[in-house]
Structure 1
Amino acid sequence: MQIAPGRRVALNGVEWTVDDVHGQLGRLVLVDDDGRAETRSFRWLINHADLRLLPAVESGRPPPVARQPRTLADLTKDQLERARLRAAHVLEAETGFREGHPARALPGEPRPAYDPDRTTLTQRRYAKAAEMEAMPRPEAVRCGLQHLSYRTLVRLSGLVGDSLLLACADGRWTRRRGGHRTITKEIREAIFAVKAECGPRARLSQGAKHRLMHQYMRERFPTFPTEKIPSRWTLAAVWNEWFGPGGARPRYGRTAEAAAEAGVSGRMVVHRPGQVLVLDSTPMPVKLRETVFGDAITATLTLALDLYTHGLPAFRLTLQSDTSVDIAMLLRDVMLPLPMRDGWGEDMEWPYAGVPAEVIAEFTGHRVAALPFFAPETVTTDHGGPYKNHDLVEAETEIGCRILPARVLRQTDKFAVERQFLTIQTMLFEHLLGFTGGDVADRGADPERDASLTLAQAEHIIATWIVQIWQNRKLGEYAPSWAPGEDHSPNTLFAAAMEQGGFDLDFPEPSFYYKVLRKHHVKIHPRRGVKILGLWYHHPVFDEPRFQQPSARGGKHAGKWVVRSDRRDRRQVYFQDPADHETWHILRWRGLPHEGEIPAFSDKTADALLTRVRANKIRIHSESELLEHLLGILGSVTPVDQWPSQAKKKAGKKQRVAQAREITRAQAAAADRPAAPAIADESAPAEMPAAWAEHARTIDHAVDADRRRRREEALADVKPVAPATLHEALNRRPMFRLPPPDDSEADTPVQEDDT
């Protein structure tokens, strides 16, 4: 006879099911249809006088799934108390004490009928059975003691502890779920057919699914009784048990199923710093003051979060929206050590014991703050425009990291950085003036009036908060799996990772800035230089004979040279010398004046310039002629409404913010460029003005210089004649000679004396 869980037998005409088998003990657990469980030995079952093996029941339902062992946690509080009461009666019959030991005797124990010194075990068992039989029926049923007989006490005698409590618990309390008897083989087939049909369709209600099941049963099984088809509520319960609640939208459910079929639905285990870097941007909920006009503006905060340590190795603040160049520079900041700033004490200096601060300072040339830096291996982003830009993808390839974009509208793929924005808001932004709240309904009376911080001040506050507070803050649920009971912060996790796997002291060179910029494959014109997005750029190095021939490059861009540009500042582009790859030449726009500088302009302004030229059908003979139109766009031709004293009153805020953004982006580009230029004789761009008055004076100087140059070019072939002196003008006629009378002839010649 084969004994296994699920085998059905009949004992004295009562059907039992083998629920569990304890081979090491020689026992098995039998459960009847009412849920009552009994523990018997193999010998008892084999030698039973009326034992009959029952055949397996064929049904449309799937076989029951083997369940895990029962525990006391499966019982409710009331059920556990009743099981303990039954176990107390069993222990009293076995030991004479309800707690099972004389050391834990209750007041009045042992009772005379259960005194172990005066009675035997058999006498105590019979006394307990008589006590249970004499107990009032309602009380015995309530406590479940109506079936506590002598044989039951003998059967439970070998159990102690939790095993005794589980044996005293009624099996009907934790009976196996019988499933839904109405779910036959045909109904199961119909449910799965409806599930497959709902996949490519739009979202359907549960009522529509129920009607589709009726349609399937009517066409596939015409003889199936309609009254035996489960109701809508039974279908809803079965659907929830088999397929889950189904809260995902159909579009994302289909992508998840496709990913599972492709075998890419597994989870990534992050176990070292830099393994996964999560990037995201959000509008900063604090109004700031731009330094050009002093208007209140909204900045964009971009964070880089290390998923292992939950540290913030880098961040960026940009006016209005960010661009792909800002994201590329953010990735470069992750790989660079953060210099110490004014006002930062020794407690904010590099604290990691694996690499001393003196060694880091020797490599970088400055003191380094307590913020980790590393080369990211995988970058996870959302599907925003700057993150999908092909220039950023090329920059990430140049860095050597893999791109793992999050699924569309799946916050769980980058939940850590989403939660980090809320953490910064509650711990820092809510304490700053100009805080706008979570939404419009939570906004203050006038946050723009309260705004007092500039972009530079806000950037300094956030950097100080990250280094001093967040990097040393205790992590709660983000503690590492290898030390769940220990206290860790982002800094301690990074230090522990350094101890376990070491630290690669390698950060990019200053020329790395040029390598992450946008690439252009162009040809070099002998006299004009290179044309980048409609503007011509030139450098004296192009006059050398080696650049008079096409490039030696082959392939798709055969014969072309690579020039890189920063879209934040279109006044110059950058060219890598083919003979010395460490030398980068700064190519200036040919429209720039020879002396002085003009304010910076970005891609947006350059596009507006070229659009204006094409719309007005202006024929441009040289790049210098474009300068007048560019200065007109920047505000050089200023009517009264655009005077510096009237600009704040008359000009639109949108235009002022756009001009402030041009200047701020140029300042960011200048800060990202290497400190020392590649060639010593090249002049560095002038610093941007900090106020609109200075900005207007700079434009006026640029216009005057351009007009002066054009006048000099126009009069280059004309010899200048000096004006007459005052003495010569006075000697042309006597000073004291009276004019002729009215009746005299005006045409009479006058002879002048030598005197």
Structure 2
Amino acid sequence: MLDGLPAEAVEQALWWERHIVEVLDGRLPDSPPGAAARPEFDPGRWSLTRREQAKATELAAAGHQVSAATVKRRRQRYQAQGVIGLVDHRADRRSAAFGRVDERVVAAMTTAIAETTEASSRTAGFVLWRTEQLLAGSDPPVVLPSQRTLYRLFGRLAHGRHATGSARARRSLAARPDGPFSGVTAAAPGELMQIDSTPFDVLVRLDDGVTGRVELTGMVDVATRTVSAAVLRPTTKAIDASVLLARTVTPEPMRPGWAQALAMSRSVLPHQRLLALDERLTHAAARPVIVPDTVVCHHGKVFMSRAFRASCRFLGISLQPAHEATPTDKGHIERTLGSVSSLFAQFVAGYTGSTADRRGRHLADGPLWSLPELQDLLDEWIVAAWQNRPHDGLRDPLTPGRMFTANQKYAALVETAGHVPVTLTGDDYIELLPARWHAINAYGIRLNHRTYDAEALNPLRRQPSGVKAKKDLWEVHHDPYDVSRIWARDPAGGWITAFWTQLHRAPAPFGELAWDHARAGLPTGIEQEIAAAVTNLLERAHRGPATSRDRTVATRTHASRPPAPTPTDGRPTGPTEDADETTGAAKVIPLPVFDPFAEADRRW
């Protein structure tokens, strides 16, 4: 009760308590048990009034100006309120909230500050001017205080409201509910997921050679904070959101160059039990496959489009648009995408910063990643770092000092909620991809300045498709985030997979090892091993892509060397029986020396 009171007032109240207790009981509070009462304060000999007079006489003799009436009032307040009744509340007297400023001035400035919510950011001087304008017609006239007083008043009224700061932060604070509020909770993976798009603060080298920024579209599971899918595109379209849904319900495959530490079988996820339900997880990476039940999105045309709604209906997903100007409806995805920028984007070569005043110089002249390369880095980072990073929003309710990772939370919830794999076949996944109509020429299919070909296209080359509405072109589906292959619809049923003809010249896939913070179920040494690899991943992202010559050498070396299988018995693999066998050298045919004069006399 005495907390927050001035120390002198508390000390004086405790001093009075000792004397009042002696008046009431005859003994001081710290007297030993069984001690006799002082004669002048003995309740058995004297009345309460005589004891009060004796205490007043004692205190007056000690130099305190105290009367018997004062002792009586103190005694009555102590009996009614306890020690708090002995406090001199003059020391705790608080001044008015805004001093002696006229209440009409306070009301006018409050109105002026409220008007800045939807307006552009201005200075405090404008708010003072607007306050004066609002008070101009007051009757009786209002006398404004001094300029310094008005600025102090503005500082108190505008505290925490960003009245002169960021307009976006000001609107977000204004949209916050006035009373108690809490976000929607989810108890099972996929029960509630959120999707959103935001500019990605990294310059990228696009297919046409032009540098520019791209958009990041991602989906997060509220229950586990798992980033189920995230894609980068120059401009987010409805079909991109549909592909994101398909990627969410599809296992992330282990890619060439990724370490086995990233495999689901090496993680804390219950791989063997999930594998019995979904065979697609055989060679999956350590990212949970979550089937959305409800997806929350904003009212943008991308997520309100017919294509995205049709994809949700196809997968049995309930689409829930967020309330307008309600930041609490999808705060998880907004915060997650912001974390991607702070935890990943700032380490990538070409990072632009979040605002213009944070942007560096000559960024376009430095090494920049292409869009497919940056997508590979992002996919690896999500599996390696994000899914194994302890999250503050994933604390154990019984032991709040412990934080879970996204994979750990999924492993815990899937034990109680279960896992129902979506019946999405490979053909269903292709159906969700964007469709284009192209001719099948002798050299294959030309899509986005890339040529794709396959032997299965031979019967269809230079043949009409029979679809007159599409000028006899063939239906081709492609994954915007995987340029390695496309799919042409087979008139006999199914799809024909055509690979990029220059795939062998593409840069080698990225990925060494990855960060894994899972503290249970991991082989010894995996955590320390992959911790260093995540650091290596960020260093490679910061350095930017290698030169074309280095990338060509790395690609050919990677293509000519198949990955070594992982030993199953833990013993080192020795040389095979024919390891020492050698083949004879082929005959070398020397090339003639180039003679420019002889070449000039030749007929062409």
**Runs of 5+ in structure 2 lacking a partner?**
121-125, 450-467, 507-604
**Is 2:340 the partner of 1:431?**
no
Query: Match of 1:309, SS?
Result: coil
Residues 1:488 and 1:208: Cα distance change in structure 2 (over 3 Å): same
Q: What amino acid is the match of 1:513?
A: Y
**Partner AA of 2:347 in structure 1:** H
Contact 1:114 1:124 in 2 (8 A): yes
2:482 corresponds to which of 665, 668, 671: 668
Alignment of 1:549-698 (within 5 A): 566=435, 570=436, 572=437, 589=438, 591-593=439-441, 595-601=442-448, 668=482, 679=492, 683-687=496-500, 689=502
Counterpart residue number, 2:254: 340
* 1:386 alignment partner in structure 2: 302
The alignment's TM-score, normalised by the length of structure 2, stands at 0.56
What whole-Å deviation, never above 9, does each CA across 1:368-398 have from its counterpart, x for those lacking one?
5243512140322363x53343422333344
What residue is the counterpart of 1:300 in the other structure? 215
The whole-number CA distance in structure 2 between the counterparts of 1:228 and 1:673 is 77
What SS does the corresponding residue of 1:426 show, helix, strand or coil? helix
Q: Which amino acid aligns with 1:467?
A: V
How far apart are the structure 2 equivalents of 1:414 and 1:317? 20
Q: Distance in 2 between matches of 1:284 and 1:254?
A: 22
Contact 2:484 2:503 in 1 (8 A): no
Residue 328 (1) aligns with residue 242 (2): yes
List per-residue Cα deviations over 1:569-625 (Å, max 9, x = no partner). x2x3xxxxxxxxxxxxxxxx4x443x33242049xxxxxxxxxxxxxxxxxx99999
Which residue number corresponds to residue 512 of structure 1? 428
In structure 1, runs of 5+ residues without a counterpart are 1-70, 104-108, 219-225, 518-564, 573-588, 603-620, 628-662, 694-755
Give the aligned partner of residue 75 of structure 1: 5
C-alpha spacing 1:471/1:95, structure 2 compared with 1 (3 Å): farther
2:291 is paired with a residue whose SS is coil
Which structure is richer in relative contact order (CA contacts within 8 A, separation 6 or more)?
A: 2
CA contact (8 A) 2:350 2:364 kept: yes
* CA distance in structure 2 between the aligned counterparts of 1:425 and 1:255, rounded to whole angstroms: 20
Aligned amino acid, residue 328 of structure 1: S
Q: Does the 8 A contact of 2:197 with 2:215 survive in 1?
A: yes
Which residue of structure 1 aligns with residue 583 of structure 2? none
Q: Tell me, yes or no, if structure 1 residue 314 matches structure 2 residue 229.
A: yes
The 5 Å alignment of 1:376-455 reads 376-381=293-298, 383=300, 385-399=301-315, 400-405=317-322, 407=324, 413-451=329-367, 453-455=369-371
CA contact 2:193–2:292 (8 Å) conserved in 1: no
> How far apart, in 2, do the equivalents of 1:483 and 1:496 lie?
15
Matches within 5 A, 1:695-706: none
Question: For residue 297 of structure 2, what is the amino acid of its counterpart?
Answer: T
> Could you say which residue in structure 1 is the equivalent of 2:404?
488
Map of 1:168 onto structure 2: 86
Shift of the 182–369 alpha-carbon distance from structure 1 to 2, 3 Å rule, reads closer
Taking the aligned partners of 1:251 and 1:424, their CA distance within structure 2 comes to 20
Question: TM-score normalized by structure 1?
Answer: 0.47
Equivalent residue letter for 2:240: D
Quote the Cα distance in structure 2 between the aligned partners of 1:445 and 1:110. Answer: 87
Percent of aligned pairs with the same amino acid: 18
Q: Deviation of residue 315 (structure 1)?
A: 0.6
Determine helix, strand or coil for the equivalent of 1:386: coil
Cα distance in 2 for partners of 1:211, 1:515 equals 63
**Deviation larger for 80-89 or 205-214:** 205-214
Amino acid at match of 2:72: R
Q: Would the alpha carbon gap of residues 516 and 333 (structure 1) be closer, same or farther in structure 2, given more than 3 Å must change?
A: same
Work out whether residues 23 and 41 of structure 2, in 8 Å CA contact, stay in contact via their aligned partners in 1: no
Residue 134 of structure 1: how far off its partner (Å) = 4.5
Larger Rg: 1
Give the equivalent residue in structure 1 for 2:76. 155
In the alignment, which of 188, 202, 217 is matched to residue 286 of structure 1?
A: 202
2:229–2:244: 8 Å Cα contact kept in structure 1? yes
Distance change (3 Å), C-alpha of 1:667 and 1:464: closer
- Matched letter for residue 386 of structure 2: W
Structure 1 residues 212 and 429: alpha-carbon distance in aligned structure 2, compared to 1, 3 A threshold: closer
**Letter of the 2:222 counterpart:** L
Q: Where do 1:452-467 residues align within 5 Å?
A: 453-467=369-383
Q: 1:494 to 1:403 in 2, by over 3 A?
A: same
Is the contact made by 1:293 and 1:692 (CA closer than 8 Å) also made in structure 2? no
d(CA) in 2 for partners of 1:255, 1:80: 43
- Residue in structure 1 matching 2:290, options 364, 373, 381: 373
Structure 1 residues 180, 448: closer, same or farther in 2, change over 3 A? closer
Kindly indicate whether the alpha-carbon contact (under 8 Å) linking 1:479 and 1:488 is maintained by their aligned counterparts in 2: yes
The alpha-carbon deviation at position 150 of structure 1 amounts to 3.4
Instruction: Indicate how the Cα distance of structure 1 residues 92 and 317 shifts in structure 2: closer, same or farther if over 3 A, else same.
Output: farther
Query: What letter matches 1:271 in structure 2?
Result: A
Structure 1 counterpart SS, 2:230 = strand
Q: Is the 8 A contact 2:162 2:169 kept in 1?
A: no
Tell me, what secondary structure is at the counterpart of 2:215? strand
- 2:183/2:328 contact within 8 Å kept: no
Structure 1 residues 685 and 471: CA distance shift in structure 2, 3 A = closer
Specify the code of the residue in structure 2 equivalent to 1:330.
L
CA distance 1:473–1:284, change in 2 (3 Å): same
3-state SS of paired residue (1:285): strand
SS in 1 for 2:227: coil
Distance 2:161 2:211 in 1: 47
> Partner amino acid for 2:226?
G
Paired with 1:286 and 1:251, the residues of 2 have a C-alpha distance of: 22
Greater CA drift, 148-157 or 273-282:
148-157
State the alpha-carbon separation in 1 of the partners of residues 491 and 277 from structure 2: 25
Distance 1:111 1:366 in 2: 88
